[in-house]
């Protein structure tokens, strides 16, 4: 027979009353505790979500005298395949690249009215075309000429190999100095452009003389470099090409021109400037300061965390060797740092291959 306790009996039994009271108290405490724990878990979840969105750090910069001068950094993550991408990717006989599969646009569809394009199949990266339009508009304003023609931009690996094979049929040794093998041409980056002159329906070779010398003199103001100059043949291992220009970005182009460097010299030099160490400081023609540093590839992972400024404009480019180059536009005007590594003295000029047809490196 089931037994139970009435209210009257409880009043007569203090021990039972105390026991029931304790059970009630424990139940309330338990319920409150569960709610507190759940609330705590919710708070932890919110904090964790917020913390993982970005990590901040303040690097120790030798040129910063106060906390206000220091740049606050967060992180970006890149896969190792990104090392081959960007305007500072070094492509030469030693360092090959893969076919670029994205980021290409038609020059014909995006050009301005101050130059010609060979056909609608000429492609470049969007950033390269923007810089190209600005440069050739300025060229027209300075010279009155609108007869420059873009005859080559991006090339596939297969097309580049066909160019090399055709050149090698006549003289393989000579072809090697004029035409890159597949995977080793700058045109495969979508950042290189070749010019000729299209005047009165006639196509003429671009030799970079007379008013066209303006391009070599002013191209760095728009982020381009003359990639294969005459006095650096021994370094680039390609014949002089006055028509071949490469987009690398304004601060880098100007620094290379000022220090007499080609890309083959400049990119390895940048590895001396690290995120946690001294940054390379570059002033553009208007005196605005850029900071540049190198981030090596993380060999223990398939991704690399790259420090980037939290509130400033910046670019990240792979160097196509072993890491990434970060360029920060500080927005400040400042004198160039005395800590920059001086360039080697300018070597004697090498003779150009004047008998060669238009090279296609």
What pairs with residue 225 in β-bridges? 246
Instruction: Give the relative orientation of helices 250-258 and 263-270 as an angle to the nearest 10 degrees.
Output: 110
**Measured in whole angstroms, how far is the alpha carbon of residue 80 from the centre of its chain?**
13
Respond yes or no: is residue 241 known to be catalytic: yes
Q: Which of 221, 241, 281, 291 is catalytic?
A: 241
Give the rounded distance of the alpha carbon of 306 from its chain centre.
12
C-alpha 25/C-alpha 278 separation (Å) is 64
Sequence-distant (≥ 6) Cβ neighbours of residue 143 within 8 angstroms: 211, 212, 214
Number of helices followed by number of strands (H, E) in the chain: 10, 14
Contact 132, 123 (CB under 8 A): no
Pairing of strands 288-296, 280-283: antiparallel
CA distances from 336 to 208, 220, 279, 340 (A): 31, 18, 12, 8
Tokens for 333, please give them: 């005007």
Burial-class residue 58 by CB neighbours within 10 Å (0-12, 13-18, 19+).
exposed
Q: How far apart are the first and last CA of the chain?
A: 102
- What sections of 54-153 are H helices per DSSP? 107-110, 126-143
Say if CB 291 and CB 328 are below 8 A apart: yes
Alpha carbons 137 and 214: distance in angstroms, whole number: 12
Triad 294, 187, 271: Cα angle to 5°: 15
Residue 180 contacts residue 93 (beta carbons within 8 Å)? yes
Which amino acids are annotated catalytic?
A: 241
């Amino acid at each position: 027979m089931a037994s139970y306790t009435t209210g009257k009996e409880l009043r007569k039994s203090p021990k039972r009353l105390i026991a029931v009271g304790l059970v009630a108290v424990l139940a309330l405490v338990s319920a409150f505790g569960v709610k507190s724990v759940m609330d705590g878990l919710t708070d932890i979840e919110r904090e964790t979500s917020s913390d993982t969105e970005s990590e901040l750090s303040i690097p120790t910069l030798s040129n910063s005298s106060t906390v206000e001068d220091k740049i606050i950094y967060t992180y970006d993550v890149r896969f190792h395949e990104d090392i081959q991408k960007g305007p500072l990717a070094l492509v030469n006989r030693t360092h090959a690249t893969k076919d670029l599969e994205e980021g290409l646009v038609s020059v014909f569809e995006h050009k301005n009215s101050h130059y010609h394009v060979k056909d609608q199949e000429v492609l470049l990266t969007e950033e390269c075309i923007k810089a190209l339009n600005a440069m050739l508009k300025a060229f027209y304003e300075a010279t009155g000429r609108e007869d420059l023609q873009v005859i080559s931009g991006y090339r596939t690996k297969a097309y580049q190999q066909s160019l090399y094979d055709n050149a090698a049929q006549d003289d393989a040794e000579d072809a090697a100095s004029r035409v890159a093998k597949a995977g080793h041409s700058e045109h495969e980056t979508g950042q290189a452009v070749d010019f000729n002159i299209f005047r009165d329906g006639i196509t003429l070779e671009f030799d970079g003389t007379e008013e066209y010398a303006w391009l070599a003199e002013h191209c760095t103001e728009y982020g381009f470099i003359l990639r294969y100059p005459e006095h650096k043949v021994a370094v680039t291992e390609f014949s002089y090409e006055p028509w071949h220009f490469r987009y690398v970005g304004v601060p880098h182009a100007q620094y290379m021109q000022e220090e007499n460097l080609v890309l083959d010299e400049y990119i390895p030099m940048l590895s001396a400037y690290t995120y946690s160490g001294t940054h390379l400081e570059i002033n553009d023609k208007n005196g605005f300061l850029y900071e540049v540093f190198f981030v090596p590839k993380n060999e223990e992972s398939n991704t690399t965390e790259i420090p980037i400024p939290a509130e400033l404009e910046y670019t990240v480019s792979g160097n196509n060797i072993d890491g990434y180059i970060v360029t920060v536009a500080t927005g400040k005007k400042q004198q160039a740092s005395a800590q920059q590594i001086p360039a080697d003295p300018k070597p004697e000029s090498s003779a150009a291959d004047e008998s060669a047809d238009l090279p296609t490196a």
